[in-house]
Amino acid sequence: MIGIESLLNNLRYKELAEIAKEEKLQTKGKKNELIQRLAENLDANRLREYYAEYRGANFDLFMHGLVPNHEVLTKEDVEKLLGQYNVDLRQLPKILQKDPAVVSLNAKPGDIIRIKRESQTAGEVYYYRVVVAALGRE
C-alpha cells in the first residue's frame, strides 16, 4: 500500500474527504487517518481513478517535452509486429501497468505499447513494450 498512500498524500484533505464521502466511509479525522482508511477500504485501481479525476485531468503527461509519444497497438498491428520480428509476447520488453504513461492510455496487461522517440542519428525510432501487472502488494 505504500505507493497508493504516497499517491493519496498528494491530494488535499478536502479531496480525500470527498472520496471518502462518495464511498460512504467516515470523513472525520486527520489527513493521514483518512488516507489509511481509503487505502484499506478501496482497491488500488479505484484509488488511481479518483487520483486521476482530481489530478490527472489538469495535466497531460504527453505534452511534456521529455515524454515520448506512446500508443496502444491494435490486435492487427500486434499480429503484424510479432510476425515481422518472429517473437511472442514473452520476448518483448515489459512496462508496468502502473507506469504513468500506461495509466494515461488506460492500457491493460497484455496490451502492447509503441513508443516513438526522436533520434539525432536515426530519425524516428520505435520501441515496443508489453504491459504487465505489478507483482506484490499495491
Domain that holds residue 30: 2-58
The verdict on 83 and 117 lying in the same domain is yes
Q: Provide the β-strand partners of residue 7.
A: none
| Tens digit of each residue's pLDDT, the chain (138 residues) | 346 676 777 788 888 888 888 889 888 888 888 888 888 888 877 777 777 777 665 566 776 778 888 999 999 999 999 999 999 999 999 999 888 888 888 889 999 999 999 889 999 999 999 999 976 544
Residue 137 lies in a domain: no
Residue 126 has what pLDDT? 95
Q: How many domains does the chain divide into?
A: 2
- Look up the pTM and report it: 0.56
Give the cell for residue 134. 505489478
Q: How many CB atoms lie within 10 A of CB 125?
A: 12
Q: Could you tell me which residues come within 8 angstroms of residue 97 by beta carbon, excluding any fewer than 6 positions away?
A: 103, 107, 108, 109, 131, 132, 133, 134
State the Cα angle at 121 between 117 and 126, rounded to 5°: 30
